[in-house]
Amino acid sequence: MVINKIAFVIDGLQMGGAEKFLIYIANNFYRNGFNPLVILLSEETALIDELNKNIRVEIIKRKSRYDLFISKRIKRLINSEGINKIFCINTYAFFLTKLAFLFDRKVQFYLSLHTTIPSSIKSYLQNLIYTRFICDSDFVIYICNNQKQYLQKKYYLNPKLKTIIYNGIDTSYFNSFHFSEQEIASLRMSMNLADDDKVIIKVARLFAEKGHFDAIDALKILHEKNEQKPYLLFVGGGEKVYVDALKRYAKEKKLENYILFTGNQWDVRKYYCLADVFTLTSFSVETFSLAALEAMAFGLPCSLTDIGGAGEMIVEGVTGYLSHVKSPSSIAESWEKLLNKNIKGQGIRNFVLQRFSSERMLRSYLELVG
Mean pLDDT of 162-179: 95
pLDDT tens, residue by residue, 84-121 = 999 999 999 999 999 999 988 899 999 999 988 888 99
Residues in the chain: 370
pLDDT tens, residue by residue, 238-261 = 999 999 999 999 999 999 999 999
Q: pLDDT confidence of 227, banded at 50, 70, 90?
A: confident
pLDDT score of 239: 93
CA 259 to centroid of chain Cα atoms = 23
User: What is the residue-averaged pLDDT of the chain?
Assistant: 94
Percent of the chain with pLDDT over 70: 99
Strand-strand pairing, 34-40 and 56-59: parallel
pLDDT score of 259: 98
pLDDT score of 325: 96
Percent of the chain with pLDDT over 90: 88
Q: How far apart are CA 139 and CA 141, in angstroms?
A: 6
pLDDT score of 286: 86
pLDDT tens, residue by residue, 117-134 = 888 999 999 999 999 999
Q: Is the dihedral of CA 192, 198, 202, 207 positive or negative?
A: negative
Mean pLDDT of 163-188: 95
Question: Is the pLDDT assigned to residue 144 strictly greater than 90?
Answer: yes
- Selection from 72, 127, 68 nearest residue 104 by Cα: 72
pLDDT score of 285: 80
Question: Is the pLDDT assigned to residue 294 strictly greater than 90?
Answer: yes
Yes or no: say if 223 and 258 are a contact pair by the CB < 8 Å rule.
yes
Q: Is the dihedral of CA 25, 28, 29, 35 positive or negative?
A: positive
Beta-carbon neighbour count of residue 70 at 10 Å?
Answer: 19
**Residues 6+ positions from 162 with CB-CB distance below 8 Å:** 139, 140, 141, 142, 148
Distance set, CA 127 to CA 120, 144, 266 (Å)? 11, 18, 31
> Global pTM?
0.85
Q: Which residues pair with 233 in a beta bridge?
A: 201, 260
Question: Is the pLDDT assigned to residue 63 strictly greater than 80?
Answer: no
pLDDT score of 3: 66
Q: pLDDT confidence of 2, banded at 50, 70, 90?
A: very low
Query: Pseudo-torsion of CA 284, 290, 293, 297, nearest 10°?
Result: -150
Yes or no: say if 363 and 345 are a contact pair by the CB < 8 Å rule.
no
Mean pLDDT of 207-215: 96
Residue 256 three-state SS: coil
Q: pLDDT confidence of 1, banded at 50, 70, 90?
A: very low
Domains in the chain, start-ordered, CATH in brackets?
A: 4-164 (3.40.50.2000), 176-355 (3.40.50.2000)
